[in-house]
Amino acid sequence: MTTTEATPDARELMYLLAVSEALAQLMRADESVFLAGEDVGAAGGVFGTFSGLFDEFGQRRVIDTPISEQAIVGLGVGAAVSGLRPVVDIMFMDFVLVAMDQIANQAAKLRYMFGGQAKVPLTITTSAGAGLSAAAQHSQSLEALLCHVPGLKVVYPATPYDMKGLLVSCVRDDNPTIVIMNKMLLGAVGPVPEELYETPLGEARIARSGSDITIVAVGRMVDEALTAAATLAGEGVECEVIDPRTLQPFDTETVVGSVRRTNHALVVHEAVRFGGIGAEIAAQIQEEAFDYLDAAVARIGAPFCPVPFSPALEQLYVPDAARIAEGVRGVLGMNPVVA
Amino acid sequence: MTTTEATPDARELMYLLAVSEALAQLMRADESVFLAGEDVGAAGGVFGTFSGLFDEFGQRRVIDTPISEQAIVGLGVGAAVSGLRPVVDIMFMDFVLVAMDQIANQAAKLRYMFGGQAKVPLTITTSAGAGLSAAAQHSQSLEALLCHVPGLKVVYPATPYDMKGLLVSCVRDDNPTIVIMNKMLLGAVGPVPEELYETPLGEARIARSGSDITIVAVGRMVDEALTAAATLAGEGVECEVIDPRTLQPFDTETVVGSVRRTNHALVVHEAVRFGGIGAEIAAQIQEEAFDYLDAAVARIGAPFCPVPFSPALEQLYVPDAARIAEGVRGVLGMNPVVA
Amino acid sequence: MTTFDGIDLHRRMVRIRVFEETAGRLSESARLPGFLHLYVGEEAVASGVCAALNDDDQITSTHRGHGHLVAKGGDFKRMMAELMGKATGYCHGKGGSMHINDLDLGMLGANGIVGAGVPIAVGAAFANKYEDNGRVAVAFFGDGSTNIGAFHEAANMAGALRLPVLFVCENNEYGEYTRRCDTMAITDIIERAPGYGMRGVIVDGMDVVAVHEAATGALEGVRSGNGPALLECKTYRYFDHMGVKGVGVSYRSDTELEEWKQRDPIRSFEARLAESGELSADAARAVWDEAQAEVDGAIEFAEQSPLPEPEALLVGVYNETGAPS
Amino acid sequence: MTTFDGIDLHRRMVRIRVFEETAGRLSESARLPGFLHLYVGEEAVASGVCAALNDDDQITSTHRGHGHLVAKGGDFKRMMAELMGKATGYCHGKGGSMHINDLDLGMLGANGIVGAGVPIAVGAAFANKYEDNGRVAVAFFGDGSTNIGAFHEAANMAGALRLPVLFVCENNEYGEYTRRCDTMAITDIIERAPGYGMRGVIVDGMDVVAVHEAATGALEGVRSGNGPALLECKTYRYFDHMGVKGVGVSYRSDTELEEWKQRDPIRSFEARLAESGELSADAARAVWDEAQAEVDGAIEFAEQSPLPEPEALLVGVYNETGAPS
Ligand SMILES: Cc1ncc(C[n+]2csc(CCOP(=O)(O)OP(=O)(O)O)c2C)c(N)n1
Ligand SMILES: Cc1ncc(C[n+]2csc(CCOP(=O)(O)OP(=O)(O)O)c2C)c(N)n1
Ligand SMILES: [Mg+2]
Ligand SMILES: [Mg+2]
C-alpha cells in the first residue's frame, strides 16, 4: 500500500483530461509511444479522452484505424515486440470480447511462451461501465475476465489523479497492461499534478480510514463507497474504504491488513457479482484473515443479467451508496434502514 | 442435488464415445439438431468425439466449416433463433477467445436484450485442459470466463455417464450452453446407459460421501479428488467429494449443505487459481456457511502462469491427488506428509 | 426489369424519415435515453431491399437499425416505447435503440457490435436452406463494418456453404468520424465480393427503384441456390454518427452533405412519381401526414406506457422451456 | 529477373527437410512430447521467401513453424531442445513446437492460433515504417487461415496504412483434414488480394527459384512504400496435418500425394543445379550429410540437456523491467 495521492492544493483536472494529458506528456518524452484506435485521431476519441493528441503529434503517432479490434491489438503486439511502446484503444470494454484472442492468447502469453525472450510493452485503454443507457453491449465491466489471464496487468483508476498516474505507469511498464476508464467518471474532477508522475502498479490506496469494516471498492464504486461511509459515520460506523487501483497484480497485503484490523469486509464492484473480481477478493480475504473475521465477507455486484437499457432498470442494476450502506449494516448485524 | 448416476451393471463406454452416442441419438430423435465445426465431418473431430456422425447423417446435418470460430458460433446463433437446435464445436477451448463476441455478446444476451422474445437453443462443445504438452494456446481451462456471463449455461462432465447425460440436457435446453470436454478424460471408461437420458442441469453430484471435509472438484479434478480421498481415508479422514457437473447455474445448495456437515471445504480446479471458478465457490461457501466453518475455505488451482509445454513443467502445473491431499491436510490442520 | 410498387416504396421511405426525424427531435430535447443512430438519408436502402423480400424472409441489422425495422413493417408504438425504455416496447425496455427487433417480422435485431449481425444472418440462411423453406436472409451492414473479422468469416462461410443470404452494404463513406478511404485501400466495397466467390453489385443507394431492382435481381440468384451475393448501396447519412447535428462538423464538409441532399431519396422519388402521375403532391403529403400522425400516436402511447417494473430486471435472462424430452 | 544463390536456396531446403524428417522420426518413437506439425514438402516456400529477406527483416509463422525458423537461420540445437521440452531450448522448454521463435533472427514466433500471427506481422511492419528503418515484415500462413477474421483485419489494415508487409500464403489445399474447396468458394487465394487493395501473385510453391523471384519482386514493391502484397505459393504437405503418416488417409488420395512428390522441390532443384553444373550430386549429398550431422548433434545436445527446473515454472510471466522513468 502506498499513500501516493495528490496534494490538496494541486491543480484540478477532469478524469478524461487526465488521459490526454498523460498521453501527451508520455509522447513528448518518449518517441516510441504512439496511439492507435478507432476515431482516436482528429475526433479525439468518442469520449474526448484523446483530444488534442492528433493536433500535436500528427498522423504518424496518432492513428485512426479501421474497425478491426483484433488487428488493433495485434498491431500493438507486433509493434511492442519490435521495440515500440504502443497505446491502443478499444472504444468500449464490451469490444474487448472481439479482441480476446490477441489480448489473452497473444499479448499476455508471448513472453512466457517464448521462454522470457519477448518484451510486450503494450497498453490497452478501454471504457467500461453502465449508466449511459447504452444497453447490454456497451455497458459491461469485464475486468474479471482479464484478471484471470496470467501475463496481463489490469488497472481501474477511480480518480483523476490515478487516471493519470496509473496510465503513466502502464505505458512505462514492459508488460501488456489494460487501463479501464469508467464512463461515469469521465467528468469527475480532482487534483492532478501537472508534471508526469506514476501511481505504482499493484498498490492499493486507502481512500478513507476506519476501524469497523473494510470496504474494497472497484472503479466507480469507490465514490459510492465513500458516500456510504459518510452516511454510516452518522450512524457511528467507521468504514475503511480501499481502492485497489490495480486489480492484477492485486494488493492482497493492504486489503488483508485492513481486514485484520476491522474484522469485517465487504467487496463491491459494478460487474456482475457471480464470478466477478469480488469473488477472488473475498476468497483471498477469508483465506488470509479467517481468524480475524467476525462475519462472512460480503459481496455486492450487479445481478446476474445483461445490462438493461431502460434507465428504470439500469439504475437498479448498478450498485450504489445506499446498497453499499445496507451491505455494511448486514455485515455488522445492524438493523436494516427502511427508507 | 440429485443422485442420478449409472447403475453399476450398465454398459461401459468411453467418455469420447459418449459424445458421439449422445449426438447420434439426439439427431435421430430430433431433425432440428445438427452439428457444425472444423473437421467434425468425415474426420470425426480431431479427438474422435464426432466419429460416425457424418456417415450416418451426411453433410446436410454434419457440416465441416471453414476455420472461422466467430462465424461458427454466429451460424449457431442465427440458426437457433430461426428454430433449429445447433451443436457447434470449438475444437480447443483456447479458441473460445476468438469467438467470445458471438458467445458472450450475442448468444448469451440476445434473449434478454430482445425482452425475452428470442430463444437460443445453441450448444457449444469444446475441449479443455492440459496434459498433452500442447502448450499455452491449446491447454487452457477458461470456464470462469464463461460462467461470469449471464445468459450462458456451462457444464463440465467428469464421467462418461455425465458426458452423455449433460450433453443431452444441453442440446435439449432452450438456452445457449457450453459443454466442456476434458482432453485427459477422453479415454476414461465408465458405465453409460444405452438409452437417451438427461443429467439435469444445475445439479451437483456427490461423488463420495464423507464427514470431515467437502472437496468441490471440477472436471478432471474429480478423479484426482477421489484418489486423494482414498489416500486420506487411510489416514482416518473422510472426504466428501462433490462434482458440480454444471458450473452455471451452480448448485450452491448441495455444496453448502455438505460444508455445513463437514465444517471444512477445499475447492479444486485445473484452471488458474486467481479468478477461477473456485473463487466464486469459495466466496459462496463462506457467505452461506460462515458459522459452520472451522477453517478458511481453501482453493487449489493452476499457478499464475500460462500452461508450459515441457512435460516437466506441465506436470507441476496441473493439480493432482497429492496436492489435493496436502490441501486437505492443510485445511484440517494435520501435519504435512513429507514424501 | 422488375416491376415495383412506387406507392409502397414511397411509403416505406417516408415512414422511416418521419420516425427518425421525430426520434432525433425527441433525443435533442433529452426525451430519449441512450445512444441514437439515425437512418435519415439512407431510407432508399432499407426500403428498396425490404420491399423485395417476402414477409417471412429474415434480416439482421446494425447499430443504425430503426430504418430496417420500419422497412420490414415494424410497429411505431412498440418502437417508440422501446426507445423510451418503456415496458410496452419491443424489448420491454431492455434493449433500446441498439437492440430493437421483431422476430415475428423476421427482423433478427439491431446489433451494438459492428459486424456481429452478419454471421447471425448467415445462420438464419443456413436454417432456411436446411429446412428448404425457400426463405432468404439479408444482412445489412455499413462500409466500416466490412473491415471487421466477423464480416469476413460470415461472407466466406456463406460462399463456401452456398447459403441463401444477401449481403447489403450501406456505404455512407464514414464509420463514425473516420473516412472510409482512411480505413481501406479500395474504391468500392464490392471489390471484396470475389474473394468470397460471390457476385457484387453496386447501386445508387439514393434511388429507391434502383435499389429495389438490384435487390430483386440479386435475390433471384440467391433464392435459386446460386449462393450469396453482395449489394453495395452508395448512400449518405444526413445526421451525425450519433444524434442529429451533422452539419458544421470537422470530419466532413457541409458542402458534401448538401450535394448528397440534392439527391434526397424521397424528394427525388416524389418528383418521379408526380411526373408519372402515380402520386400527386397532395397524395404524397397525405403519406407524410399519416406517418406523422402515427408517430405522434406512438409518442403518446410510449409516454403513457409504464416503465418496466423492478421485477422485470431478472426476467428473460434464461428461457425456462426446453425441447420436449 | 532477379539473381539467386542456388547453393544457399538448396541448403535452406535441405536443412528444413532433414530437420523435419528427423523430428518426425523422433515423434514416431515417442521421443517428442506434444503436437508436431511438419513442413516436409513445403520447403521451397520458406526457403525462397527467407532468402529474399535481410537478416533484420521479421517474419511471423504458424503452427507449422519449424521450416520458417530454419529458413531464417534457426539453430538446430536450440530447436531440438525446445521440441524435447528442455531448458536449453529456444523457449527454455515453455513453448515447444508451436511457439518456437528467435527474436534475434526476427522470427517472431510460431503460433498456435490460426491466423493470429498475421496481425502481429502487421504490427512489426508498422514499427518498421514508424521508425523508417527500411525493414519489412513477412506473415506466413496457410490457405485455411485466410478464412479467419484476424487475417482479414490484418490484411485490410496493412492496405489502409500502406505498411511494408508481405503476406505469404502456403496453399497446400488442406486445413487439417478438410479440403480447401469445401471451405471457400474461390479457386485461388489471391482472389482475396484486391479486396485489400493489394497485388496478388501466384507462384509454384514447389519451385524454390520461382518462389524466390516472386518474393524478391513483391518485396521490392513492399520496400519502396507501395504497401502490402500477397504471394500465394501452391504447395503440398507430404505428411499428415500432425505427425508423419500422410499416406493411406481418408481425406486425400495417395495418388495425389504421389503426383506432388513427383515435383519435389528439393529433388527437382538438385537436378537443375546438377544440370547447370552449380552443384554436383556429390556436393549435394554433402549438404544432406552435413545437415544430418548437425541434426544428430542437435539431438545429442537436446537429449543431454536438462529439463527445466521446477522454479522455472513461474519465471517469465512478467517482465520486471520497465521504461526508464
Ligand atoms: C466491434 C465494434 N467496434 C466498434 C464499435 C463502435 N462503432 C459503432 S458504429 C461504428 C461505425 C460503423 O461504421 P459503418 O459500419 O460504416 O456504419 P455506419 O455507422 O456508417 O452506418 C463504430 C466504430 C462497435 N459498435 N463495435
Ligand atoms: C483459431 C484456430 N482454430 C482452429 C485451429 C486448429 N487448427 C490448427 S492448424 C489448422 C489448419 C490450418 O490450415 P492452414 O491454414 O491451411 O495451414 P496448414 O496446416 O495447411 O499448413 C486448424 C484448423 C487453431 N489452431 N486455431
Ligand atoms: Mg458507414
Ligand atoms: Mg493448408
pTM over the 0.95 mark = yes
Does residue A232 sit in the same domain as residue A138?
A: no
Q: Give B 118-157 residues with CB within 8 A of chain A.
A: 135-137, 142, 144-145, 147-151
Does residue B187 sit in the same domain as residue B298?
A: no
Chain B residues in contact with C160 (beta carbon < 8 A):
65-66
Report d(CA A94, CA A307) in Å as an integer.
11
pLDDT at C2: 58
Does residue A156 sit in the same domain as residue A219?
A: no
The pLDDT of D88-109, averaged and rounded, is 98
Cell reading at D40: 516436409
pLDDT at A339: 53
pLDDT band at D218 (very low <50, low <70, confident <90, very high): very high
Q: Does residue D93 sit within a domain?
A: yes
Q: Does residue C320 sit within a domain?
A: no
pLDDT at B3: 45
Q: What is the pLDDT of residues D112-169, one digit of tens each?
A: 999 999 999 999 999 999 999 999 999 999 999 999 999 999 999 999 999 999 999 9
pLDDT band at D71 (very low <50, low <70, confident <90, very high): very high
In the block, cell 521479421 appears at: D58
pLDDT(B339) > 60: no
Q: Does residue C319 sit within a domain?
A: no
pLDDT(A229) > 50: yes
Average of per-residue pLDDT values in chain D: 97
Report d(CA D212, CA D220) in Å as an integer.
12
Complex confidence, ipTM = 0.98
Q: Does D59 reach chain A within 8 Å, measured CB to CB?
A: no
Q: Does C321 reach chain B within 8 Å, measured CB to CB?
A: yes
Q: What is the pLDDT of residues A264-296, one digit of tens each?
A: 999 999 999 999 999 999 999 999 999 999 999
Q: What is the pLDDT of residues A118-159, one digit of tens each?
A: 999 999 999 999 999 999 999 999 999 999 999 999 999 999
Q: Does residue D39 sit within a domain?
A: yes
Does residue A151 sit in the same domain as residue A243?
A: no
Query: How close, in Å, is residue D199 to chain C by CA atoms?
Result: 11
List, in order, residues 6 or more apart from B279 with CB less than 8 Å away.
A275, A279, A280, A282, A283, B144, B273, B299
Chain A residue closest to C316 (CA)?
A305
Does residue B219 sit in the same domain as residue B281?
A: yes
List, in order, residues 6 or more apart from A252 with CB less than 8 Å away.
A284, A288
**Domain ends where: B191, B225, B247?**
B191
pLDDT at A10: 78
Q: Give C 121-160 residues with CB within 8 A of chain D.
A: 147-153, 156-157, 159-160
Q: Does A68 reach chain D within 8 Å, measured CB to CB?
A: yes
Cell reading at D183: 471451405
Q: Does residue A337 sit within a domain?
A: no
Chain C residues in contact with B68 (beta carbon < 8 A):
153-154, 156-157
User: Are A286 and B306 an interchain contact pair (Cβ–Cβ within 8 Å)?
Assistant: no
User: Are A290 and B295 an interchain contact pair (Cβ–Cβ within 8 Å)?
Assistant: yes
Strand-pair category, A298-302 with A265-272: parallel
pLDDT(D275) > 50: yes
Interface contacts A/D by beta carbons within 8 Å: 161
Domain with residue D297: its CATH number is 3.40.50.970
pLDDT by position in tens, chain C (length 325): 457 899 999 999 999 999 999 999 999 999 999 999 999 999 999 999 999 999 999 999 999 999 999 999 999 999 999 999 999 999 999 999 999 999 999 999 999 999 999 999 999 999 999 999 999 999 999 999 999 999 999 999 999 999 999 999 999 999 999 999 999 999 999 999 999 999 999 999 999 999 999 999 999 999 999 999 999 999 999 999 999 999 999 999 999 999 999 999 999 999 999 999 999 999 999 999 999 999 999 999 999 999 999 999 999 999 987 665 4
Q: What is the pLDDT of residues A49-58, one digit of tens each?
A: 999 999 999 9
Kindly calculate the radius of gyration of chain B based on its CA atoms and give it in whole angstroms: 20
Beta strands in chain B (DSSP E): 12-14, 33-37, 62-64, 85-92, 123-128, 153-155, 177-182, 189-191, 205-208, 213-217, 239-243, 246-248, 265-272, 298-302
Does residue B166 sit in the same domain as residue B231?
A: no
Atom number of ligand 1 nearest to Cα A38: 23
pLDDT band at B274 (very low <50, low <70, confident <90, very high): very high
List, in order, residues 6 or more apart from D230 with CB less than 8 Å away.
D155, D166, D167, D168, D169, D189, D190, D192, D193, D196, D198, D199, D200, D201
Domain with residue B50: its CATH number is 3.40.50.970
pLDDT at A3: 45
pLDDT(A238) > 80: yes
Q: Does residue B6 sit within a domain?
A: no
Give residue D92's domain range.
Answer: 6-312
Q: Does residue B198 sit within a domain?
A: no
Chain D residue closest to B94 (CA)?
D113
Q: Select from B82, B172, B174 the Cβ nearest to the Cβ of C127.
A: B82
In the block, cell 490515478 appears at: A162
**What percent of chain A has pLDDT above 70?**
97
**Furthest C-alpha separation in chain D:** 64
Give residue B106's domain range.
Answer: 12-191
Cell reading at B312: 516437466
**Domain ends where: B191, B217, B235?**
B191
Report d(CA A69, CA A71) in Å as an integer.
5
Q: What is the pLDDT of residues B196-230, one digit of tens each?
A: 999 999 999 999 999 999 999 999 999 999 999 99
Q: Which one of the ligands is nearest to C64 CA?
A: 1
Q: Does residue C179 sit within a domain?
A: yes
pLDDT band at A335 (very low <50, low <70, confident <90, very high): confident
Does residue A320 sit in the same domain as residue A292?
A: yes
Atom number of ligand 2 nearest to Cα D145: 15
pLDDT(D239) > 50: yes
Which residue in A67, A73, A272 has the most chain C C-beta atoms within 10 A of its own C-beta, making it the best mutation to test that interface?
Answer: A67
The pLDDT of B66-88, averaged and rounded, is 98
A197 exposure class (CB count in 10 Å sphere: 0-12, 13-18, 19+): middle
Structural domain count, chain C? 1
Q: Does B336 reach chain C within 8 Å, measured CB to CB?
A: no
Q: Does D94 reach chain B within 8 Å, measured CB to CB?
A: yes
pLDDT(D1) > 90: no
Does residue B120 sit in the same domain as residue B241?
A: no
Domain with residue A301: its CATH number is 3.40.50.920
Ligand 2 pocket member D175 (CB < 6 A): yes
Cell reading at B257: 449443505
Q: Does residue D184 sit within a domain?
A: yes
Q: Verify whether residue A264 is a known catalytic residue.
A: no
Read off the DSSP letter of residue D209: H
Does residue B177 sit in the same domain as residue B220?
A: no
Q: Does residue B339 sit within a domain?
A: no
Q: Does residue B327 sit within a domain?
A: yes
Q: What is the pLDDT of residues D9-32, one digit of tens each?
A: 999 999 999 999 999 999 999 999
Ligand 2 probe mutation, D147, D152, D176, most atoms within 8 A of CB = D176
Interface partners of chain B (CB pairs < 8 Å, 3 or more) are A, C, D
Q: Does B179 reach chain A within 8 Å, measured CB to CB?
A: no
pLDDT band at B297 (very low <50, low <70, confident <90, very high): very high
Can you tell me whether residue C236 is helix, strand or coil? coil
pLDDT at C320: 82
Strand-pair category, B12-14 with B189-191: antiparallel
List, in order, residues 6 or more apart from D294 with CB less than 8 Å away.
D15, D76
Ligand 2 probe mutation, D40, D63, D192, most atoms within 8 A of CB = D63
Structural domain count, chain B? 2
Q: Does residue A197 sit within a domain?
A: no
Strand-pair category, C199-204 with C178-179: unpaired
User: Are C93 and A310 an interchain contact pair (Cβ–Cβ within 8 Å)?
Assistant: yes
Q: Does residue A198 sit within a domain?
A: no
Does residue B273 sit in the same domain as residue B126?
A: no
Residue from A138, A148, A264, A269 carrying the catalytic annotation: A138
pLDDT(B324) > 50: yes
**Domain ends where: B148, B163, B191?**
B191
User: Are B312 and D308 an interchain contact pair (Cβ–Cβ within 8 Å)?
Assistant: yes
Does residue B254 sit in the same domain as residue B295?
A: yes
pLDDT at C4: 87
Does residue A180 sit in the same domain as residue A300?
A: no
Average of per-residue pLDDT values in chain B: 96
Chain A residues in contact with D120 (beta carbon < 8 A):
74, 77-78, 81, 106
Q: Does D171 reach chain B within 8 Å, measured CB to CB?
A: no
pLDDT band at A338 (very low <50, low <70, confident <90, very high): low
Q: Does residue C322 sit within a domain?
A: no
Which residue in A65, A67, A117 has the most chain D C-beta atoms within 10 A of its own C-beta, making it the best mutation to test that interface?
Answer: A117
